[in-house]
Structure 1
């Protein structure tokens, strides 16, 4: 087997990488067999590390660590019951593998995700990792189940109400710090200001008005005072960016379900150029389309799988197999490739899933694979790809 030194995708974009390379590094073939987890396939440098961003030269904050962990599954997302021990094992696996970027939310399991993340992070040096959470919902204790069923199995005993005011924003941050057990957040995202949010629907602009008067000035003040490093929006649709961006100055946006190997044209044509003009970076949430690209029978948090997406999945998987890799690996590296993207935060429920995601970021993908996808019109011709 050939010896090789693998340089992580993104060098051409000015992106650094954490590597301890050696001329003795032996490339490894990864062929795992857990039927519950999609195997990672391909050539890996034995001591390759996870990618980081080079020193921030722009006007807005970018997190150092490009490979992160999303916290939805840690809140029993997708109505999957996980116990504290299983999630803590996964979180320790993340830390041990070099993951240092963690995203959570009060909404995930109605505080469950934040508490579980805290079981790991409160014992770590605060300067050693990037942590983000979200504002927009205030949790209140309740003996009654939440009236509306969301994605959470056995959430914590809380109800919530929307509050995008200045006071509500500060209270939400303080509540998160208490639940996680840490002294600060690096990034705060204003959560779910979108017409896709079924709680809001057509009334979502009323909440935007409240945020423009309250949450946005408060977070800007907290950033300027050094209390947080950056703020932005955690959203599943880009509507607020298209309609209100001229009225605010965010640093970073967590865009879920908007940039993946299966669906990325709108982001490349409109969203990314709009953000690039203002030096606003993107954290890609759900780069595996809610688990679909890792073999789950769901797409973008729903059991409905569009036929077009199923067809693309089948075709890309076949081409990946021809080139000795897997579609999950291709999807994760694809999501991390654009210069607009400062991080990706795939989720994980088990340590095995976490380990496979980390392995995928170390695979060397043949350039011919990406050329084939473009020639077959399975990805956009101008889509950035790992180099």
Structure 2
């Protein structure tokens, strides 16, 4: 029996208590900045055009991606579309200046622009970063602004210093002023770790958080504390990295056979350890038994949680965009989800598309009976 959850890329959910609505599937722009390999301006524009044709109306970027390259490319690609018909977010916390030392490649960007970051989470730093992004994008207002990469995962021992810039140095206040004055519609974090979102919610009234890689088929620890807290506080999650940097994108057979990109055996931006490869092999084998692609399961699973407003995907080409669209909208067997749980590959607390579809069906039936 096939579960038809009714997922469509263009269906929408609200961001927290704001008026902003995001499409279920959306486009992140790290790939447009040259993550793992560069692409041409034409390829970047074609990927954005394909996302638009697929019904995606939320686009996310950051100065960090390609050291300002992604913002420039995304702005150029979106310039031909009506500004009021899509949602745009960018990030603050880094100010880019002309490079003084050679780029060493450790961040994963191929052929980035010749700039380097200066971290600054103070109020003045936030506003300067935001204004620089507006100039680079050059397409009008930004709807959502996100504090980028605050947390110990990025900053280690320096995290306490940067956190004080947010709390005592006016960083949070500056973003609140942007929201309160109507310059932006929503504010939040863009991070790779759950703990700092919880810390921020304790300090500040967030609308949302873009969380990369922490709620996926491979990782569900966020169910313990973060997701319940977000649901209770009406803080929406925009989930990036649902392929965990690539390893869930196509399955191991494609990657090991040399047919995929170099990123496909990446996990959290580095080479995947043996234990992760083994777990992906189990997931892949179970998906093959149900005759569905691993990518479809990876894309659809996180959107089943009601705290999740969108699933952000990256793409280097129009073809990759269309592949992601087909995977997101593909009907999946209801038995797949119970098999994943029975195999110990899925947390028993995790909502699934099958359960969400059943709830929607029951709600609709009850409504019809009342009528």
Please report the TM-score for the alignment, with normalisation by the length of structure 1: 0.83
Among 86, 97, 108, the alignment partner of 2:54 is 97
Q: Gaps (5+ residues) in structure 1?
A: 10-48
Deviations 1:87-134 (A, max 9, x none): 111111111221111111000000100111012112211111111100
The aligned runs of 1:234-249 (5 Å cut-off) are 234-249=190-205
Describe the shift of the 1:76–1:148 C-alpha distance in structure 2 as closer, same or farther (beyond 3 A).
closer
The aligned runs of 1:1-387 (5 Å cut-off) are 8-9=6-7, 49-54=8-13, 59-60=17-18, 62-78=20-36, 80-142=37-99, 144-146=101-103, 149-197=106-154, 200-212=155-167, 213-264=169-220, 266-295=221-250, 296-303=264-271, 305-386=272-353, 387=357
Distance 2:47 2:13 in 1: 28
Distance 1:127 1:62 in 2: 11
8 Å contact 2:79–2:139 — kept in the other structure? yes
8 Å contact 1:286–1:345 — kept in the other structure? yes
Give the number of the structure whose residues are more often helix, by fraction: 2
8 Å contact 1:190–1:232 — kept in the other structure? yes
Structural RMSD (CA): 2.0
Describe the shift of the 1:218–1:195 C-alpha distance in structure 2 as closer, same or farther (beyond 3 A).
same
Q: Look up the match of 1:22.
A: none
8 Å contact 1:142–1:159 — kept in the other structure? yes
Q: Partner of 2:139: helix, strand, or coil?
A: coil
Count of equivalent residues? 340
Q: Partner of 2:270: helix, strand, or coil?
A: coil
8 Å contact 2:10–2:57 — kept in the other structure? no
Q: Gaps (5+ residues) in structure 2?
A: 251-263, 358-371
Distance 1:176 1:168 in 2: 12
- Deviation of 1:142 after TM superposition, in Å, equals 3.4
8 Å contact 1:63–1:343 — kept in the other structure? no
